[in-house]
Amino acid sequence: MSDEGTREFVDEDLSGSVFRNVDLTGARFEHTELSGVTMRGVEMVGVRISGEVQDFVINGVDVAPLVEAELDRIHPDRVKMRPDDADGFREGFALVSGLWDGTVDRARALDPALLHESVDGEWSFTETLRHLSFATAAWVGRAILGNPAPWHPLDLPWDQMPDMDGIPRDREVRPSLDEVLVVRGERRAMMRDYLDALTDERLAGETAPMPGPGWPREGQTFPVKECLLIVLNEEWWHRQFAERDLAALESHA
């Protein structure tokens, strides 16, 4: 029970449960697996859903393609985050890097203390940048380039990742924006250098098995294209989240 008497379910397995005549008004679901859920006779007004949406059928209509099409309409550059060739990856990364430069400039206009503030339980601005550094280290430094431990002490994995020896995840440290940007700049340079030499033949290949313990897990292999798409996807979506939260911080300031 929380201080307000609200029931909380944390790290619970409720798969296969049946909820009938249940009031979930104001409920909050975070990092929750809802695959295969069936809802009948429900009322959904004022609902906000963010996450990966596939095969999402409402009243007999799969709305997932409609959502994707609308997102592409609102953000025309979003389609460049799904390239099929080496030139497309170079273009997409240059685009999202430029967008991030503008977002960082926007963040610099705020009181530096606000860049450590969480908005609605989400990562702070500096934590977001630290996570992107981790993602590039994992999927380019480790998966593609074969560095068994490409980590920096400021790297930040996602919250639900199990603790792994050697992978940092300090949520208490409060580095300055410039300190975080040094690491971020090194990782962006690593990605850019790799893309500069990327060919379509290399893009179509596979990574070597992951070297030693870490993330991705030891022994796994991945298509090179998948690794690079993960980085682009992380860059695009976390910038969207950061812009949303900066607007909230600006209004509070």
Domain harbouring 148, CATH code: 1.20.120.450
* CA-to-CA separations, 249 to 5, 112, 240, 243, in angstroms, rounded: 29, 11, 14, 10
Round to whole Å and give the CA distance between 136 and 132.
6
Structure tokens at 27: 């409920």
Residue 193 is assigned to a structural domain of this protein: yes
Specify if 11 maps to a domain.
Answer: no
Q: How far is CA 15 from CA 31, 59, 113, 160, in A?
A: 14, 23, 41, 18
| Domain around 104 | 79-252
Please report whether residue 127 resides in a domain: yes
Residue 34, domain member (yes or no): no
Residue 123 lies in a domain: yes
Residue 181 maps to a domain: yes
Instruction: For residue 110, tell me if it sits in a domain.
Output: yes
Q: With beta carbons less than 8 A apart as the criterion, state whether 198 and 144 touch.
A: no
**Count of the separate structural domains present in the chain:** 1
The neighbouring-strand residues paired with 62 are 57
**Given 3-state DSSP classes, what are the helix, strand and coil percentages for the chain, each rounded to the nearest 5?**
45, 0, 50
Residue 53 lies in a domain: no
Per-residue pLDDT of the chain (253 residues; tens, 9 = 90+): 344 567 888 888 888 888 888 888 888 888 788 888 888 888 888 888 887 888 888 889 999 999 899 988 999 999 999 999 999 999 999 999 999 999 999 999 999 999 999 998 899 999 999 999 999 999 999 999 999 999 999 999 998 888 888 999 998 999 999 999 999 999 999 999 999 999 999 999 999 999 999 999 999 999 999 999 999 999 999 999 999 999 999 998 7
Helical ranges in the chain per DSSP H:
64-74, 86-108, 125-136, 177-196, 200-203, 224-252
